[in-house]
Structure 1
Amino acid sequence: MNRGTYFAGVGAAGLLAAAVAVLSPHDDPPAPTSAAPAAARPQIVMADGDDRLPSTSATDWVTYADHVVVASAASERRLPLGPTEAARGEGLIGRTVDMRVEKVLWSRKGAPEAAPKRWTYNAAGFALTGGDQKAAAPMALHGRPRMEAGHRYILAIAWEPARCSPGDRPEHARWMGLGEGSELPYDGGVIGQGEMEGRVRTAAQARALAAAGTGEQGLEEEMIGQNASALTARLKAAPATQKQAPSAQARPPACD
């Protein structure tokens, strides 16, 4: 599998602050016969990032998530290009997505905040390399949905309180995912079906890719082709465990 730019930190939040180092074409899944020709599909720049929290198993979800929700990507907004990037004609263009919660599937007892009805998701944006912002290539993280308007997802989310670090801008309190395994396509009420890495795939394609993969097989792969009710039952049966410290770099102190 080709690998692109690597970003430490948590998903899109790291993408928005980092500079593009290496670009790679998207590794397409097997395409259905009705799919558009490869030449007609836009190139997607792929990136890698560290998981913020464990997210592979059902135990990970019930240990680290505050809520598991079905949410739709209602709309998106392209953020303004920074002055430095504009002067260079290259860099990252940020993007936010308005996520609307359709159903709460599971909540952790003692969660610090009630499940949101909607929130702004800091998503992977676009890679600008030739100066023309309209021609900037879409970006996505390996193994994660890009979160595109018109698609549905199942997300395990946790409330991240505001953080302050001397000399840096404060990080506002917000809802965040756990990691690669905590964001599942859910178009048509089928887990694994829908948008992943900026491409639309069927549950059968997702299952074939999971079977051919060499990585860790977890909850995401186990639930392909099933529905939200099956996932909820799986979470209710899973035991929570002792939380571990985040694997990414140490968090800055909380704001006063």
Structure 2
Amino acid sequence: MPHTSSDQPVAGRRWLPTTRRSRLTTLAVVAATLTGGTVVGVVIADDAGDKGPLVGRTDMSGLPTLTASDWVTNGDHAVVIEMVPGSEHRGALPDGETSGREGHIPRIATMRVDQVLWSRPGAAAAPKTYRTELPGWWRDGSGEREFAWKDEPRYEEGHRYIALLIKGDDGKWGATLHAMPYDDGKVGTGENEGTVVSSRSTDALEGLEKAANGKSATAVKQLLNAAAPQN
């Protein structure tokens, strides 16, 4: 998932969370502001009691971040990141949801930049670490379940990712959509949607992630350096 942040809010389109089973129940309409855009939609859970994360499908307008050209057009830095061990803690329900029975409870954590793969000319220096809000849990009357965005990492301790960073007008750093799992030196290996995967089929991928799937950070760097920014 993209890190949730107040950086660069842009009105977004609908998203429709899904789960792995077919029996679905609408829980609530929620909104989330992301780095480069905002999404609004409906949280859905299955009646069968699936214990896996609730998965929200995004259809967000804002800064395009799908292709290598999108990354070098709209980003500040492409980086390899991981969570600082022990830095994660539980956030609070958003304003207006504190007295209700339903809502998203975020995680707050510090991310460490291990390697800078590409930088936009003139961009502020990439941070060594940055504090950010991450997908956490969905709370309703029956309890809590982990929450994740469709085809996006939850960003969990012990895993690495390749992500596009943007510095917002408020000076805060955050990652955009289309971050890529990057364990064991391979794009597509690692945590995604709260599940650890050893590989991903290119048939299900698009853009930069499809071109880089199974390859190293060096290959991502080469793809970005070869990409032309859009005018």
Relative to the length of structure 1, the TM-score reads 0.70
1:11, 1:51 within 8 Å by CA — same for their partners in 2? no
Specify which structure has the higher proportion of strand: 2
2:188, 2:198 within 8 Å by CA — same for their partners in 1? yes
Aligned counterpart in structure 2 of residue 202 of structure 1, from 198, 204, 208: 198
SS of 1:126's partner is: strand
Structure 2 vs 1, CA of residues 21 and 55 (structure 1 numbering), >3 Å: closer, same or farther? closer
Q: Distance in 1 between matches of 2:36 and 2:108?
A: 9
Residue deviations 1:216-242 (CA, integer Å, cap 9, x gap): 721111211000001101111111112
1:223, 1:231 within 8 Å by CA — same for their partners in 2? yes
Matched ranges for 1:139-158 at <5 A: 139-158=147-166
Relative to the length of structure 2, the TM-score reads 0.77
Q: Distance in 1 between matches of 2:211 and 2:72?
A: 16
Specify which structure has the higher proportion of helix: 1
Unaligned 5+ residue runs, structure 2? 1-15, 19-28
Aligned to 1:61: 71
Q: Which amino acid aligns with 2:34?
A: V
Displacement after TM superposition at 1:14 (Å): 5.5
SS of 1:87's partner is: coil
Structure 2 vs 1, CA of residues 57 and 83 (structure 1 numbering), >3 Å: closer, same or farther? closer
Q: Does 1:45 align with 2:43?
A: no
Root-mean-square deviation over aligned CA pairs: 2.7
Residue deviations 1:29-66 (CA, integer Å, cap 9, x gap): xxxxxxxxxx9x83211123315311111111111111
Aligned to 2:216: 227
Aligned to 2:106: 94
1:81, 1:92 within 8 Å by CA — same for their partners in 2? yes
Structure 2 vs 1, CA of residues 12 and 85 (structure 1 numbering), >3 Å: closer, same or farther? farther
The higher radius of gyration belongs to: 1
Matched ranges for 1:1-256 at <5 A: 3-4=17-18, 7=31, 9-10=33-34, 21-24=42-45, 42-49=51-58, 50-74=60-84, 75-81=87-93, 85-111=97-123, 113-130=124-141, 135-162=143-170, 173-179=171-177, 181=178, 183-203=179-199, 206-207=200-201, 210-211=202-203, 213=204, 217-242=206-231
Q: Distance in 2 between matches of 1:9 and 1:43?
A: 24
1:13, 1:122 within 8 Å by CA — same for their partners in 2? no
Residue deviations 1:177-198 (CA, integer Å, cap 9, x gap): 332x2x1100111111001111
Amino-acid identity (%): 33
Please identify, of 6-15 and 59-68, the stretch whose mean Cα deviation from structure 2 is larger: 6-15
Q: Distance in 2 between matches of 1:24 and 1:196?
A: 19
Unaligned 5+ residue runs, structure 1? 26-38, 163-172, 243-256
Structure 2 vs 1, CA of residues 14 and 42 (structure 1 numbering), >3 Å: closer, same or farther? farther
1:105, 1:232 within 8 Å by CA — same for their partners in 2? yes
How many residues matched? Answer: 201
